[in-house]
Structure 1
């Protein structure tokens, strides 16, 4: 007999509460970081409301803990000899975190990525091209492991130029490309210069990571148009795991609720946000016992919604995926601005090859401008659309072709020059 929607919801909540209690019992015995943090906890947790009374975990805490207890800190439950993998965060928002995984935890990472690949329609008949130079950043290491488990041929692209990667994809008849949204767009630029017609290549799907662009409709449309391939988004963090993936609808992200508990809070009040409001995503991973995180503030901004996805997946759905980062938000003339909001509009102009956002101070007030590379003069139209949609005037500056940087990993398109001392001529 099939379960009703209500029964399925209750079953999932009961399962998650059970997994939380298993994790809490373990960490309060074997993890020095959480043993101290949860020293007054009373187990077992009876309800999710009780769980939400536990303190949050922040990246700042983990960084400080590693500084006090170098090199790896105390958020590890096993002796150092039990760990087989080392990774570190990219450091784009502060000092990098060092992360260790046991074999069991690394297999868990792999299995989370198996769900990402399956949701993107990948099978053992595909050939995956990883446009990624393997290093300490976790990148697509776990995607590689997942593909191996699924019996899918993996074609590595490390240590190659963009031209070499394009040749390798074509010559080896790769069907799926894994890269950042920015790099997918850059590869399309290089292909155009080389006279390669990307839609005629075997690439049928692109799985993106590292940036929110894969769920930004205008960015996704640009990539799909240039490649003639479907774009599937993915969300993960080195310290948390691969927690989110897109589906056949490709208009947001599903949380893998079998492995993660998701909360959405107001970053100021720390209280749950209401339906339809934006908030910060807070996650707990259930089975990464080698490096657990409980009520971790990701700083990712998402939309709180209980509406089901049209694909039929009952796991929690985040419309539009990751909307922005709490630490990326800047208030300009009373308006909250996320870089992803500007990107959404910029990417509606196919003529724009690359862009950059510059924050600066003028007359002691925050200002913002957008620099663009475009063969056509679309500055006025872009400025009008930015003003109409964001609500303030944003200057648009056209810069020479090729003058803005390109990125193979996480893009850094925001320059913050606020309060920089003015040069005296």
Structure 2
């Protein structure tokens, strides 16, 4: 049983539910006066709210709304609460599921990001004695920008890898004796592949911790275990969103994600009915951030699918635990011959095969029927074994096609391993 934790409201210590209600009211009162986007959305809301049930009557916020608002009020939209001169940071979403969102942060909001990332690093066992290598390009993707800020708070040395090739990054990791690597799961695997070609024995390097983000792979057991074996290091997952914040992280148990409930309110809903799901059921993650007044989000539909659980994590962290982390995207789920398929479910099976270097999932139409196939890079004769395992686990016959080594793309940031070639029936 997790230990009870108290939270400070001025001079009073309260339990988490009371603390969250107080933080919600502070946020709601503020945005109803100073944020034009939410002033309109909450115009019929009576404040302050007295119970969480009242809060659940408030409207959801969607990415489509925010994108449309930026189109109507370019370039940044109305969800930025302060004058433009108050903002110091610019970032944008990847745009993989629509128009990229432009998101600005004030100095105060950026400090909040730092605090959130500090929790990620602390839970991963990072200390001031570590040397963090950031293997990403310093572009508008917010990714590990905030990790740099969190590392400063920890007191660890940061080694930037922006503007370097993969080989240069590997040399820098080795020469500077980096102990912590931050990158996407795909890039951790890609670096390992390059290291193998270069004759570098990664488990003999000083890397002891890898913190992943940007993809669900860090919480997929087979993917995590493959990275750990190739690097000889412990892998910890992190989840966040440009528009929401760094809201979750894995722990020593490595069985899922904890949501930082001191900074985020968690809901899990049925994406069709919009009602809360029962314990043990899958649902869409909905979040509200407490500390980002410059760019607040209230009841934001993340489109990420998680499992609702009330079971505490064995690590002792009292925050909401999401077993398995992000298990897929609402947008990613497809129905093939009556079977619901998430790409992460297929990846989890593929990563069990060490012989597979890279893969791609292709949805297509044949004889007016939607089909799915998997392309794999491997020199081993395992296509038929993988096909059988996919059929047993997914409950669907999935063709497996072996392709030439090196023919599939590699990724330094978010991967794009799903190709949809289905013919529309409209």
TM-score, with structure 1 as normaliser: 0.97
In 2, Cα distance between the equivalents of 1:364 and 1:264?
35
Using the TM superposition, give the Cα deviation of residue 149 of structure 1 relative to its aligned residue in structure 2, in angstroms.
2.1
Q: CA RMSD in A?
A: 1.5
Correspondent of 1:183 among 176, 179, 187: 187
In 1, Cα distance between the equivalents of 2:98 and 2:258?
28
For the pair 1:373 / 2:377, whether they are aligned, the reply is: yes
Q: 1:394 to 1:276 in 2, by over 3 A?
A: same
Q: 1:42 to 1:65 in 2, by over 3 A?
A: same
Match of 1:71 in 2: 75
In 1, Cα distance between the equivalents of 2:32 and 2:229?
51
In 2, Cα distance between the equivalents of 1:10 and 1:271?
28
Determine if contact 2:5/2:318 at 8 Å carries over to the other structure: no
In 1, Cα distance between the equivalents of 2:359 and 2:3?
48
Spell out the pairing of 1:345-356 with structure 2 (5 A cutoff).
Answer: 345-356=349-360
Using the TM superposition, give the Cα deviation of residue 5 of structure 1 relative to its aligned residue in structure 2, in angstroms.
4.4
For the pair 1:90 / 2:94, whether they are aligned, the reply is: yes
Spell out the pairing of 1:52-63 with structure 2 (5 A cutoff).
Answer: 52-63=56-67
Using the TM superposition, give the Cα deviation of residue 363 of structure 1 relative to its aligned residue in structure 2, in angstroms.
1.8
Q: What SS does the corresponding residue of 2:69 show, helix, strand or coil? A: helix
Correspondent of 1:102 among 103, 106, 110: 106
Match of 2:84 in 1: 80
In 1, Cα distance between the equivalents of 2:394 and 2:154?
44
For the pair 1:201 / 2:205, whether they are aligned, the reply is: yes
Match of 2:293 in 1: 289
Q: What SS does the corresponding residue of 2:37 show, helix, strand or coil? A: helix
Q: What SS does the corresponding residue of 1:199 show, helix, strand or coil? A: helix
Using the TM superposition, give the Cα deviation of residue 420 of structure 1 relative to its aligned residue in structure 2, in angstroms.
7.0
Correspondent of 1:120 among 124, 141, 152: 124
Determine if contact 2:128/2:157 at 8 Å carries over to the other structure: yes
In 1, Cα distance between the equivalents of 2:368 and 2:57?
41
Correspondent of 1:129 among 109, 128, 133: 133
Correspondent of 1:280 among 279, 284, 287: 284
Using the TM superposition, give the Cα deviation of residue 251 of structure 1 relative to its aligned residue in structure 2, in angstroms.
1.0
Match of 1:42 in 2: 46
How many pairs are equivalent? 419
Stretches of structure 1 that go unaligned for 5 or more consecutive residues are none
Using the TM superposition, give the Cα deviation of residue 175 of structure 1 relative to its aligned residue in structure 2, in angstroms.
0.2
For the pair 1:155 / 2:149, whether they are aligned, the reply is: no
TM-score, with structure 2 as normaliser: 0.97
Determine if contact 2:289/2:298 at 8 Å carries over to the other structure: yes
Q: What SS does the corresponding residue of 1:124 show, helix, strand or coil? A: coil
Using the TM superposition, give the Cα deviation of residue 145 of structure 1 relative to its aligned residue in structure 2, in angstroms.
1.0
Correspondent of 2:23 among 2, 19, 22: 19
Match of 1:171 in 2: 175
**Deviation sequence 1:242-300 (CA, Å, 0-9, x none):** 00000111110000000000100000000000000000000000010000000000000
